[in-house]
Amino acid sequence: MNRAVRRATITVADAATEGLDMVTVVIGGAIGAWAGYTYSPDTWSGDWRLAFAGGVAVVAAVAVNSLAELFLTPLRRLLTKARSTAQPTTTRRHTAPAAPATLPEGLAQVAAATENDAASRAASDAWQLDQGDGFLRTEDRWRGYEDATASFFLAPGVWLHYRTKKNEYGRDAARFTLLTGDGDQPVPITHVEQIRHRLAARAAGLPATPAADAAEDQGDVLDDDLTGLHATA
């Protein structure tokens, strides 16, 4: 969906939700006032009947509004989440270059387009790791390459690498691995917390798990080591 249309839809839905909240108060108050005045004893004076109707109207308005909140509150949560995810990510905008005059010039343009495409796809697919929509999904931080892979500089000597690979259904699936300049084996990454975990271990001078198969076996030990470091800090 176009971002402008999505933002407009969210704005309208937000206004409708607030309006519905007010409508429930008015309806509840009107029903309470009518019921309070209609069913109050006829022996009461007009002032007493009006006062009683006013009290019933307030109680009814609160009761109806409270019932409406049972479905308005989840709706507000959905709107809040939609509003946060509707914030545009940082993207690079390019205009098409002039038509090439030679084959090498055309090849250079296609190579540059391939690199930009890889960076854009990496930032888009990074939602699988980081659904916060503010770190790994920043396209300008990704560097694309001619082989359709991309890398994200995390810290000196540490990169997040992106590539695609055919899955069991024959479709391209994103694959993220953590690379270091120390000759360690690439570590598959499926969540941004894994990156934090390994950077924390690296900062603490603890050995990183060399293989993905051993990650789960050594994860508890590494967590204990890091916990001990935090406790003594």
For the chain, the first-to-last Cα distance in angstroms comes to 48
The pairing of beta strand 187-188 with beta strand 150-155: unpaired
In the three-class reduction of DSSP (H, G, I as helix; E, B as strand; rest coil), residue 172 is classed as strand
The DSSP 8-state label assigned to residue 139 in this structure reads G
CB 120 within 8 A of CB 164: no
Q: What is the DSSP letter of 126?
A: G
Is the Cβ–Cβ distance between 112 and 95 less than 8 Å? no
pTM of the model: 0.49
Give the angle 19-20-22 at the CA atoms, nearest 5°: 65
In angstroms, the CA 162 to CA 102 distance is 32
Return the domain boundaries, the chain.
Answer: 3-85, 103-232
Contact indicator for 149, 118 with CB cutoff of 8 Å: yes
CB 16 within 8 A of CB 37: no
Please state, as a whole number, how many other Cβ atoms lie within 10 Å of the Cβ of residue 150: 28
At residue 84, what is the residue type? Answer: S
pLDDT range class, residue 35, cuts 50, 70, 90? confident
Beta strands in the chain (DSSP E): 142-144, 150-155, 158-166, 172-180, 187-188
pLDDT tens string 183-225? 678 889 999 999 999 899 888 877 655 434 434 444 443 444 4
Give me the pLDDT at residue 63, please: 86
Cβ-contact 225, 206 below 8 angstroms: yes
State how far the Cα of 163 lies from the Cα of 186, in Å rounded to an integer: 13
pLDDT single digits (tens) 93-121: 557 788 889 999 999 999 999 999 999 99
What is the tens place of the pLDDT at every residue in 45-66?
Answer: 888 888 888 888 888 888 887 8
CB 10 within 8 A of CB 83: yes
